[in-house]
Structure 1
């Protein structure tokens, strides 16, 4: 088995397991935010905090041991495109509420038989593709990406603070990882109501999945000198840099791979395989648990909300450099500045959309 095949099979197996767990536990960023604003319940946001805490500590340890170099991830660019990230994440946050879930949740719902999410997947994929390479991409590059500030080095907090306080970066990274990651884990675990099997399973599985994907991409897929370019490279990533899990850009690349399959230049990547794996894992669990059922749109307004939400997520996820899984989990695990900005945007966007739906519900006559 070649290294490329091993990487793809490892990604497929890991994401199938993740898909099954997400289907079982109901892990959902949009649902977690809705629980806070609508019913003041924190269990699902604690799942998210536990996952982030585990991934932050794991990445800091991997980096400290020299197993991976998180400054070579897709989130560590010295250019901080704050306008793209903030606007994109707000749009994505709005979109995931209107479309009943983020990119990962959409795949989980498809696996459970939800036809609405299948439509969301198609629309989101096409809009994401247009935002990467089409006319929406021109708008993004010319108007949003042109607003930025540039740091002297990578934009992650360990790099920024190590130079400020004259501390070695590995020490700063490990210290910040333990402090921030440990704090998030404590926030999750100190609540007695959180200690259920599903809550712990969700947080632990998501956190370790993000961490293991960094190892697959940044360690197993790392080539110090590509024989073709004589430069370092990361195998089977669409960006050419180290990647973990994200579900917006890979939507676009999956559609591209399916449409141009006969073109030998189109190859499977870890992002495309992750899309397949998450859906398959969800479907297998739903069938086994006998929770698989077909579901479609309930009304014209329901259809419109999902179409608009999918479009917002397709454009916003690319502009923000990732979704709630990409920036909100994978990106934040590297302590990148843009990821902190994106999380703020996701919450703001979701809050606005939730209030919009509440207002629409209040206007409907009682039956």
Structure 2
């Protein structure tokens, strides 16, 4: 392959991810897919429907990803969530911060991008602050704190941290074969739980669960299969075209928001190039905007008062710091990372949910105190 062909393929990867993210935004807007909303429904109203939708999406992408591993198309250790370091402390602390913050900010990064497509100016402020704090945690002041504390508390494993690799190393067998079994079992369990109750079979929930899961899975395929080069013509190294991490990536919406701000600020720098994460952010907003325009539901919305503003600013800051520290958000770790069955992702998801529950309890306490 020539360098020009690799450049053309990179452009195709970016367009594919943009269109898939656009579809994600449209589905999320129509189905009200939201992880924070799902947890809030359970805690505040005992309504499990949106959590069933989230589990359905997780089941779809988990089965699909591990089928691709079994087919030899992709490998979990080459993803953004792979590697031999189990960063349990980063996932635990970062996930809890992110979960608490997304409650204060009225939703995670993906939900605020969806809201922005509907004209919500609060979401714009949240995204700007989240992106700035994420950028600081990637390279700035809070990055130093992160590197000197929680990032040091990690366990070095003999191989990749995903469950199929660990099981294969401990009990024998090939990782693809184990991934087929473990991924199918875990994914089927999620699907069974999601579809067991009647609300889980509602048309809107099926659209959100299957649709979102299929989109995330398709991005895995685009990044890990379509955009994969065994040997890049310029570097002569293995390459995953279009990704900022130079590893296989799916959807995530904290670091990409920071990277989008960086790309805008340093646009004239020829060394700055668009990545799959940045185009996914743009595509998600576009998809939500199109649905809102079609439904004539687009309207401008701002903060209610200073207390509302302060709460959202604090939440956005916590999300930016927590999302980078945990190496993902409710979508990055919650769907993309979880589908790899990585230990760090499992801890991050549990911590995000725990942080969200704590945040909801805190808001309820505030309301009761004010009353």
Contact 2:72-2:176 at 8 Å conserved across structures: no
Match of 2:343 in 1: 337
Question: What are the within-5 Å matches in structure 2 for residues 140-179 of structure 1?
Answer: 140-179=146-185
Question: What are the within-5 Å matches in structure 2 for residues 45-56 of structure 1?
Answer: 45-56=51-62
Distance 2:76 2:230 in 1: 15
1:39 to 10, 33, 45: 45
Single out whichever of 162-171 and 92-101 deviates more from structure 2: 162-171
Distance 2:201 2:112 in 1: 27
Distance 1:336 1:9 in 2: 28
**Residues 1:364 and 2:370 aligned together:** yes
Distance 1:81 1:95 in 2: 21
- Number of residues of Structure 1 aligned to a counterpart in Structure 2: 365
Shift of 1:167: 2.1
Match of 1:136 in 2: 142
1:263 to 258, 265, 269: 269
Distance 2:80 2:278 in 1: 16
Match of 2:189 in 1: 183
Normalised TM-score (structure 1): 0.98
**Residues 1:293 and 2:304 aligned together:** no
Shift of 1:276: 0.1
Shift of 1:227: 2.9
Distance 2:295 2:326 in 1: 36
Residue aligned with 1:236, SS: coil
1:21 to 8, 24, 27: 27
Distance 1:76 1:84 in 2: 15
Shift of 1:70: 2.2
Match of 1:8 in 2: 14
**Residues 1:87 and 2:93 aligned together:** yes
Shift of 1:284: 0.8
Single out whichever of 68-77 and 261-270 deviates more from structure 2: 68-77
Shift of 1:194: 2.0
Shift of 1:190: 1.2
1:275 to 257, 277, 281: 281
**Residues 1:63 and 2:69 aligned together:** yes
Distance 1:290 1:240 in 2: 40
Distance 1:231 1:8 in 2: 20
CA deviation map 1:300-331 (0-9, x unaligned)? 11111100000000000000000000000000
1:235 to 233, 241, 246: 241
Distance 2:370 2:54 in 1: 34
Single out whichever of 231-240 and 100-109 deviates more from structure 2: 231-240
Q: Which runs of 5+ in 1 are unaligned?
A: none
Match of 1:216 in 2: 222
Distance 1:94 1:20 in 2: 26
